[in-house]
Structure 1
Amino acid sequence: MGLICIQTCVYCMKKTNSSNEFTDRSPIINFLQVQQNQIEINLEHEMRELRAHGMSRLEEKYETAQKQHELKLQLIEQQIKDKENELQLMLNFRSAGKQKSLKEQFLLDLQINVIAKNGEKSAEGNQRIYEVMRDYIKDNDDMTGSSFDEISTDTPVYHLVDFIKAIKKCRIVDISTTDQSSTDIQINCTSSKAMEDFLTAISSNGFHQELFELRRWLLVQCDIESHDIIANCSSNGIEKVKQRLYFTGVTRSMTCTEHQHTQCTLYCPDHDTFLCTACRESKHGTCLGIKQVTSERSYVEQKRRLNIKSIKGVYSVRIDNTLINRNKNDQDECIITSMCMLPNGEVLLADILNNRLKKLDSSYKVISHCDVTEHPFSVCYIGNDTAVASLSGNSIQYVNISDNINLTQLVKLDHECYDLACHGDTLYICSRYTIYNYNKDCTQQHVLYHYPDKTYSPLIAISDNGERLYFKAKTDLTTTDDKGNHLFDEQFDGYRLRDICMVGEGIVLVLDETNSIHQLDYNGKKHRTVDNMPLNISFPQSMCFDRERCRLIVGGSEDKIHVYKCEFLPS
């Protein structure tokens, strides 16, 4: 029916068109003109405008999302950095506890930040937490025991405050806010043990659960949606406490209890323990929330330099018994090609000409020695009262160093053995052109790195976290990662390198043939020459660093070792 009506109208229009009874504005005539293709409808321009508008809106949304993503990444990076600083400080206090208890008061600021969905700080969320926390602390100004109504809507805030108050010898002394961007809680810890307990508590899973409840409280009770709640100690407060620890001479490192030569670089909140990377793989594989204590980030940013404060003394390492045991006297000059620190503060030396290993006590007096079958090039400690020495006959000699030095197992390898180092359960051995890694009993050989130009490479050192390896290539120092990927080469003006050792805190020391000692950073880049180094040693050969007493020990070819007192100074 509709079609008939249209056709009738069209017929009528045709009959009346000649008599001009209808104007051009008639919708029926317009319709007829469209039908007759007399009017062009051009949609292309409109589609272009619509497409441009859509792309513009899409670009705006993308830029907004990109900015939010970058903000969130920056927050995560800062959170990781802050947590590393907290854990490093906890490690320092735990090391201090092994030496002496510091009866001093320490102040730290715990900052609580609410992060909005867009990655920025939520002023509304932070202000709400601050107000409730301020009123609760004011009502309980004794800063000790607290009481509150368990059915209160603000209970999660009260729980967080009481969690902090429950830490022994820790007291909340002030609470403030900075432009509504964070809630700052000032904590006074009355001893090094209290500070360690506080840092342990805020790194625990229980504390993170309190923050989770706080975030849920903001959403349910306050209608404030957040992306995250971050609680970290202020970096300024941590640095001030660290400086006080440095002035007291507290050790700034801790060796793993399972792998005594290896530095702890990880923290497990499930077991409240520091561990090395080898322990993580073998014993903590199922633990959640394992955190890095030190990393490349903190190494790169470290701004400390090692300085020689004074010479401690020059000590003889020659065995010369004129009355008894004449056959045990050193027949040749003592050339110390390698040395390493033992966990109890003793020192193990390799005397290459006399084919002997020698152990010194903490006053650098020879207290034990043993003969080996070939020239010893290098020694290192691998844990459990065991050390290994690389010998000139393609051999690795295991020795027990618990009392007197006693030879145990001799392992023959299919390549030369010049230098060696150990990290965790992995033993690294240098041949002339290749770096190998083994397990501790020298099986399961793998090639880690090979010099394509057949460059002589007899020296190796490993960073505390096991992620950087440093070895000599004639007059250069090569840095790789723990997978053998080449990272960096540093040149030393044509002078041959004699030894490499790790100081800690991302500092690498390199000894060259001119009696100069160079300080390098974590990535193997030359930082500076160590100041006040009064070396006057004929043919310097080896060195090691005593972290417990902050001393540098250097050996050469004159029957003696030189011991220097060191100090860390700001760059």
Structure 2
Amino acid sequence: MYLHIYYKVIKMATFSQVLTVQGKSDYVVSIPSDLRKCFFIYAICVLSDDHILITDNNNKRVKQLNHQYKVVGHCDLTTYPTDMCCITPSEIAIIGNDYRTHDVQFVTSGTALYKYSMTGDLLNKLYEDTSGDYTVWKCAANPSGDKIFVTNWSHNKVLTLAIDGAVLHTFTDTDLVCPFGIHVTDQGQVLVCGQSSNTILQLDGEGKKKLATLLTERDGLNAPHSVCCNRSTASIIVGQYIGNQILVFKEK
């Protein structure tokens, strides 16, 4: 996955500001032309115009949602999309995996994190852990670009890496089982999905400690796989493993 690294000054206080939610809405993201059930929403991102993109892995599609979370467009892919992120206001990068070929840019292989240039040239391997099949699963960079957060699905961990790949911190918690998707807000708040614990946790900006268990099964979570914070609408969007809906929670 391409990581668009950019630099700006952010006060440390924003990293530790705990998010709180109130109310939940469900939105159907299946469309009549889908050939299969809409499963495996592995990634969500918000565009500069506040339109939302989601990956529908089972249908090999990226879908565009409007401000009312209605599907208004889609792009068919030749492979199964497993992750994506914005790299410019009008461009996204997508990781594809058809179990034979792996299309990548700033890439996780399941056990390693590789750094590529924006033109697709391999620069170096940042980190590797071969102690399991999914020790390097999803990653996200902080706003200042000096830390990368990585979910280790196999061992229920979130790693904080320096930009050179050195491990700075390792986070574990009983509320986080099989961590999957991870997201860092523009303010530096770290959100991570617990697939098997049916939770979304907020970590501090260093990835060292839990600030809150934001959402649980009581809030309707069922194997959450992706999470994204839309600051302009003050909402948290969650995609899940099974089902044709996204969940949208309003921030207090």
Q: For this structure pair, what is the TM-score category when the shorter chain's length is used for normalisation? A: 0.7 to 0.9
Structure 1 residue 357 displacement after superposition: 1.0
Aligned residue identity for 2:30: R
Deviations 1:245-268 (A, max 9, x none): xxxxxxxxxxxxxxxx66650xxx
Structure 1 residue 515 displacement after superposition: 2.2
- The residue aligned with 1:476 is 157
Aligned residue identity for 1:481: A
- The residue aligned with 1:315 is 27
Alignment CA distance shift 1:454-1:300 (3 Å): farther
Q: Does 1:428 align with 2:106?
A: yes
Q: Following the alignment from structure 2 to structure 1, what is the Cα–Cα distance between the partners of residues 15 and 243?
A: 36
Q: Following the alignment from structure 1 to structure 2, what is the Cα–Cα distance between the partners of residues 522 and 384?
A: 24
Q: Following the alignment from structure 1 to structure 2, what is the Cα–Cα distance between the partners of residues 545 and 515?
A: 18
* Residue of 329, 336, 356 corresponding to 2:41: 336
Deviations 1:40-95 (A, max 9, x none): xxxxxxxxxxxxxxxxxxxxxxxxxxxxxxxxxxxxxxxxxxxxxxxxxxxxxxxx
Q: Following the alignment from structure 2 to structure 1, what is the Cα–Cα distance between the partners of residues 53 and 129?
A: 30
Structure 1 residue 384 displacement after superposition: 5.0
Tell me the SS of whatever aligns to 1:379.
Answer: strand
Q: Following the alignment from structure 2 to structure 1, what is the Cα–Cα distance between the partners of residues 114 and 78?
A: 23
Answer whether contact 1:358 1:369 (CA < 8 A) is retained.
Answer: yes
Alignment CA distance shift 1:446-1:303 (3 Å): closer
Larger radius of gyration: 1
- The residue aligned with 2:182 is 500
Q: Following the alignment from structure 1 to structure 2, what is the Cα–Cα distance between the partners of residues 263 and 549?
A: 23
RMSD: 2.2
Answer whether contact 2:79 2:96 (CA < 8 A) is retained.
Answer: yes
Query: Which ranges in structure 1 are unaligned for 5 or more consecutive residues?
Result: 1-260, 266-292, 321-327, 397-416, 418-426
The structure with higher relative contact order (CA 8 Å, sep 6+) is 2
Q: Does 1:449 align with 2:127?
A: yes
Answer whether contact 1:307 1:530 (CA < 8 A) is retained.
Answer: no
- The residue aligned with 2:235 is 551
Q: Does 1:539 align with 2:251?
A: no
- The residue aligned with 1:560 is 245
Q: Following the alignment from structure 1 to structure 2, what is the Cα–Cα distance between the partners of residues 500 and 355?
A: 21
Structure 1 residue 329 displacement after superposition: 3.1
Q: Following the alignment from structure 1 to structure 2, what is the Cα–Cα distance between the partners of residues 392 and 526?
A: 32
Answer whether contact 2:182 2:192 (CA < 8 A) is retained.
Answer: yes
Alignment CA distance shift 1:532-1:480 (3 Å): closer
Tell me the SS of whatever aligns to 1:309.
Answer: strand
Aligned residue identity for 1:552: I
If each structure's strand is expressed as a fraction of its own residues, which one has the higher value?
Answer: 2
Tell me the SS of whatever aligns to 1:538.
Answer: coil
Q: Following the alignment from structure 1 to structure 2, what is the Cα–Cα distance between the partners of residues 508 and 565?
A: 17
Structure 1 residue 512 displacement after superposition: 0.5
* Residue of 206, 210, 216 corresponding to 1:527: 210
Q: Following the alignment from structure 1 to structure 2, what is the Cα–Cα distance between the partners of residues 542 and 500?
A: 7
Q: Does 1:358 align with 2:43?
A: no
Q: Following the alignment from structure 2 to structure 1, what is the Cα–Cα distance between the partners of residues 16 and 212?
A: 15
Structure 1 residue 446 displacement after superposition: 1.5
Q: Following the alignment from structure 2 to structure 1, what is the Cα–Cα distance between the partners of residues 17 and 58?
A: 38
Number of paired residues? 240
Aligned residue identity for 1:524: G
TM-score by length of 1: 0.40
Alignment CA distance shift 1:306-1:561 (3 Å): same
Structure 1 residue 550 displacement after superposition: 1.6
Structure 1 residue 537 displacement after superposition: 3.3
Answer whether contact 1:348 1:360 (CA < 8 A) is retained.
Answer: yes
Tell me the SS of whatever aligns to 2:12.
Answer: helix
Answer whether contact 1:349 1:359 (CA < 8 A) is retained.
Answer: yes
Q: Following the alignment from structure 1 to structure 2, what is the Cα–Cα distance between the partners of residues 384 and 528?
A: 31
Answer whether contact 1:477 1:524 (CA < 8 A) is retained.
Answer: yes
Structure 1 residue 305 displacement after superposition: 0.8
Q: Following the alignment from structure 1 to structure 2, what is the Cα–Cα distance between the partners of residues 302 and 356?
A: 33
- The residue aligned with 2:52 is 347
* Residue of 359, 369, 375 corresponding to 2:74: 369
Tell me the SS of whatever aligns to 1:525.
Answer: coil
Q: Does 1:511 align with 2:188?
A: no
Query: Which ranges in structure 2 are unaligned for 5 or more consecutive residues?
Result: none
Percent identical pairs in the alignment equals 25
